[in-house]
Amino acid sequence: MEEIVTGEAVVLDLPCARFPARILARIIDMTVELVLIGVIALLVGSGMASILDSAASTALMLSGLVLVIVGYPVAFETLSRGRTLGKMALGLRVVADDGGPERFRQALVRALAGAIECWAFLGVLALPTSILSGKGKRLGDIFAGTFVIRERAPQPAAGIYLAAPARVTAGPGVPHPGSAGPGAALASATPVDPGLRPWAASLDLSALPDQLAASAASYLSRYWQLNSGPRDAIGRQLAADVAARVSPPPPPGLAPALYLHTVLAERRNRELARLLPSSGPWQPSPPPPAPAGGFPGWRR
């Protein structure tokens, strides 16, 4: 398993595909590509021979080779979110280094590198890098910032859990000393205060940058380790920065730490719902009890 932390502070345990599975998928894809190349060669050599001269036939054949060798993986991986026919057969998928879906630019870089690695050098360049890489990356994956996972691998119960900022055991996403580790936060969503759920569901988070969200998550994870004076000042500044990029504004009197927790929790919950579409609609988890003595801004 490879641990990936997304921009929404969600930790994913993704099973990386190793070289044997990848080479089998690649053999399937190359077989399909060879069939397509054979069809193009047949068309160029027979049906079009009477209307094309040798230079035009050569140019057309080279164009077909490029279209198949580069266009085939780019088209499939872009349209199917990281899968070619070979990867579908083996249960593999290409994802970005942050665990997100593969983009067109990444698919193009992988295909261009693959034309050299897998076709020009018959996999000689891909073999050592895949074996030495912790994620089984070939050169195309290194250049594109991607790696291949096994989608149909058995998933443990703790396959997806929330990162440290979301280990909510008391109050607004602020781990209290003695709180449980990541294994205790295995729910598919981060608890949100019941009174804030309607407001949280209406939030527009599209303008919230990952760096600011990561800063807020780091602040919440270290909340109990900070002195009260600097802690409150940092919380107010972070809450103001987040509120400038998130709408609608928070309810009056909402504590900065609770505001930050609610925004990050809603962001993580939406990301988890996107990552786990097969799990059905998200049902909010009941909020955990507040610690002894309560927490500023926490509403029971």
Q: Which residue has the higher pLDDT, 223 or 299?
A: 223
Both tokens of 244, joined, read 């400038």
Q: Are the C-beta atoms of 271 and 205 separated by less than 8 Å? A: no
Q: Could you read off the pLDDT of 57-87 as tens digits, one per residue?
A: 888 889 999 999 999 999 999 999 899 999 9
Burial class (CB in 10 A: 0-12, 13-18, 19+), 172: buried
Q: Is 247 helix (H, G, I), strand (E, B) or coil?
A: strand
Q: How far apart are CA 239 and CA 224, in angstroms?
A: 17
Q: How far apart are CA 215 and CA 221, in angstroms?
A: 10
Q: What is the mean pLDDT of residues 126-146?
A: 88
Residue 102's identity, in one-letter code, is E
Mean pLDDT: which of 73-82, 192-201, 213-222 is highest?
A: 73-82
| Amino acid 163: pLDDT | 37
Q: Is 2 helix (H, G, I), strand (E, B) or coil?
A: strand
> pLDDT band for position 46 (50/70/90)?
confident
Q: How far apart are CA 100 and CA 124, in angstroms?
A: 29
Question: How many other β-carbons are positioned within 10 Å of the β-carbon of residue 100?
Answer: 18
pTM here is 0.51
Q: Could you read off the pLDDT of 88-120 as tens digits, one per residue?
A: 999 999 988 877 789 999 999 999 999 999 898
Q: How far apart are CA 10 and CA 271, in angstroms?
A: 8
Q: How far apart are CA 295 and CA 300, in angstroms?
A: 10
N residues, the chain:
300
Q: What is the mean pLDDT of residues 148-172?
A: 46
Residue 2, pLDDT above cutoff 50? yes
Residue 50, pLDDT above cutoff 80? no
Q: Which of 71, 87, 3 is nearest to 37 (CA)?
A: 71
> pLDDT band for position 127 (50/70/90)?
confident
Q: Residue 70 carries which DSSP code?
A: I
**CA 171 from centre of chain:** 28
Q: Which of 243, 269, 247 is nearest to 258 (CA)?
A: 243
Q: Residue 182 carries which DSSP code?
A: G
Provide CB contacts within 8 A for 228, sequence distance 6+.
none
| Amino acid 141: pLDDT | 93
Q: Are the C-beta atoms of 89 and 26 separated by less than 8 Å? A: no
Residue 22, pLDDT above cutoff 60? yes
Q: Which of 268, 211, 271 is nearest to 242 (CA)?
A: 211
Report the range of poorest mean pLDDT among 18-22, 51-55, 86-90, 266-270.
Answer: 51-55
